[in-house]
Amino acid sequence: MMNVWRPRSRATSDHPEALPTSIAVPESEAPHDPSAAPPRVMGFWGGLSANVLNMIGVGPFITIPLALSALAGPMVLIGWLAGALLCMCDGMVWAELGSTIPESGGPYHYLRTAYGSERLGRLFGFLYLWQTVLTAPLSIGSAAVGFAQYLAFLIPSLGHQGQILAAIALCLVNTALLYRRVDSVQRLSLLVTAVVIGACVWIVLSGLMHFDTHVFAHFMHAGGDPKHGFWLGLGAVSLIAVYDYGGYNNVCMLGGEIKRPRRTIPLAVLTSIPIVALLYMGLNLSVLGVLPWQQAAQSKAVVADFMQSIYGRTGGMTAVLLILLASWGSALVVLLGYSRVPFAAAASGQFFRVFARLHPRGRFPTVSLLFTGAASALACMLSLDDLIASLMVIQIMFQYMAQCLAIVLLRRHERRDADTFRMPLYPLPILISVIGWLYIVCTSPWRHILAGVAAIVGGTLIYMIDAWRRKTWPFQRP
């Protein structure tokens, strides 16, 4: 039987009941009232906490040694600053797209609308969905595995198999916690965010109070040729920095559940980046002013070792507990954001129809959430180091580059409301973003670039086969 799709009406107001939307839901599942979509209940502080908690996960607590190994000496700090600048420019791209098309599933709608919802946008939307099906479980799983690694600092007898089981358990618990209305999750994320930021401030202040200028001077005079050359080393550090800063776009994934999204989304995106950048730079400087950089480069739990050197075993254990809280919260909000993407695709008819189901009372995606949570638990059994780097390259090669062009296309063809955010100094932030992304890709190992190309080619072939079978673009009949 042919499915009939009913697009929701478009409007220009910034009120929740009159927002423009490109989501279409199945006729058989779509009531004739606003409850056909999740309610808009998350405000600015909830959106900001979703971003910050995503950004301050386990990433910076385990990647400082990787950055020092890639590029020793003061230039590693330049790599962190370059990553922050790139993310700020890319954040302006996300802010304008999120303000223009405030829908849950974010990039899926941005790409379909900008490139033509019944033309090339169908392919781009499918490729984003394909990419997300691959990357979402690995992104969530990486936070869960980081949680398990720091848990092993508290429980040395945990072992490798125990760490895998702990990571899987974390994913399943988070899935259960998110099986409810998003406003209750908002309250939980606000509480955890406050604790995490307080912990980061404590760690940074502890380092500054015990800062050893001789130790830091030794780091500043560290030199020699990096393992793979300066420019490759700088690219590697920038990729690590972008991975750690990642999450400033999480509010865009929840666009359909944000109150006053034209204002709230840009404000949450562009506020979260400098907050986290300052915390990360303070964290790096604090660690490098207390621990010899060679020791930091070899550490498996660098912040725990750092705090233990200041406060003894008690300080190290306390830091680990706070890092566990941060990594748990990060895995929670990443799962919350990514679980909305299959729902958005299914609601517009480009993914399995069952993923468009909403909970009858809570009005949150059920099947999409359960699928993403289960896939994340399975991802915890993989070795994620090379996979995460490869999938970062996939995102850059397709999604981030495509979104930069999407801004240009939308400005040419889409009518804007007066209150829609428009990036300052256009198109300079776009040019900086494109140059930065290209540099990171070109300095990445060939195996990661080939993995990105293979993923894009594979997704394109799957789309073309399905489009030919269904006689949709580019095989549609006249």
178-204 exposure pattern, b = at least 16 Cβ within 10 A, e = fewer: beebbeebbebbeebbeebbebbeebb
Task: Give tens-digit pLDDT for 3-35.
Answer: 323 333 333 333 333 333 333 333 333 333 444
Task: Give tens-digit pLDDT for 165-214.
Answer: 999 999 999 999 999 877 767 677 777 777 778 888 888 999 999 999 99
pLDDT of residue 289: 93
Cβ distance 81 to 87 under 8 Å? no
For the chain, what percent of residues have pLDDT higher than 90? 37
Residue-range definition of the domain harbouring residue 212? 38-470
pLDDT of residue 478: 63
d(CA 363, CA 365): 7
Cβ distance 292 to 309 under 8 Å? no
The count of other CB atoms within 10 Å of the CB of residue 471 is: 9
The CATH number of residue 279's host domain is 1.20.1740.10
pLDDT of residue 424: 95
Is residue 248 a part of any domain in this protein?
Answer: yes
pLDDT of residue 25: 33
More confident residue, 352 or 109: 109
d(CA 344, CA 190): 25
Mapping DSSP onto H, E and C, the string for the chain reads CCCCEEECCCCCCCCHHHCCCCCEEECCCCCCCHHHCCCCCECHHHHHHHHHHHHCCCHHHHHHHHHHHHCCCCHHHHHHHHHHHHHHHHHHHHHHHHHHCCCECCHHHHHHHHHHHHHHHHHHHHHHHHHHHHHHHHHHHHHHHHHHHHHHHHCHHHHHHHHHHHHHHHHHHHHHHCCCCHHHHHHHHHHHHHHHHHHHHHHHHHHHHCCCHHHHHHHHCCCCCCCCCHHHHHHHHHHHHHHHHCCCCHHHHEHHHECCHHHHHHHHHHHHHHHHHHHHHHHHHHHHCCCCHHHHHHCCCHHHHHHHHHHCHHHHHHHHHHHHHHHHHHHHHHHHHHCHHHHHHHHCCCCCHHHHCECCCCCCECHHHHHHHHHHHHHCCCCCHHHHHHHHHHHHHHHHHHHHHHHHHHHHHCCCCCCCCCCCCCCHHHHHHHHHHHHHHHCCCHHHHHHHHHHHHHHHHHHHHHHHHHCCCCCCCC
Range with the poorest average pLDDT among 89-98, 294-303, 404-413, 422-431:
294-303
Task: Provide φ and ψ at 254, rounded to 5°.
Answer: -105, 20
Is residue 478 a part of any domain in this protein?
Answer: no
Question: What is the average per-residue pLDDT within 49-74?
Answer: 82
pLDDT of residue 382: 79
pLDDT at residue 275 is higher than 80: yes
Q: What is the pLDDT confidence band of residue 160, given thresholds at 50, 70 and 90?
A: confident
Range with the poorest average pLDDT among 105-114, 231-240, 420-429:
231-240
Range with the poorest average pLDDT among 282-286, 326-330, 439-443:
326-330
Rg (CA), the chain: 22
pLDDT of residue 384: 57
The count of other CB atoms within 10 Å of the CB of residue 310 is: 17
Is residue 280 a part of any domain in this protein?
Answer: yes
Q: What is the pLDDT confidence band of residue 162, given thresholds at 50, 70 and 90?
A: very high
Is residue 305 a part of any domain in this protein?
Answer: yes
Is residue 13 a part of any domain in this protein?
Answer: no
Cβ distance 330 to 247 under 8 Å? yes
pLDDT at residue 88 is higher than 70: yes
pLDDT of residue 26: 34
Is residue 5 a part of any domain in this protein?
Answer: no
Closest CA to 41 of 173, 189, 197: 189
pLDDT of residue 21: 35
How many domains does the chain contain in total? 1
Is residue 2 a part of any domain in this protein?
Answer: no
Question: What is the average per-residue pLDDT within 115-121?
Answer: 90
pLDDT of residue 16: 36
Q: What is the pLDDT confidence band of residue 344, given thresholds at 50, 70 and 90?
A: confident
pLDDT of residue 200: 83
Question: What is the average per-residue pLDDT within 208-223?
Answer: 89
Range with the poorest average pLDDT among 5-19, 26-40, 244-258, 301-315:
5-19
Is residue 477 a part of any domain in this protein?
Answer: no
Return mean pLDDT, the chain.
83
Q: What is the pLDDT confidence band of residue 442, given thresholds at 50, 70 and 90?
A: very high
More confident residue, 397 or 87: 87
For the chain, what percent of residues have pLDDT higher than 70? 88
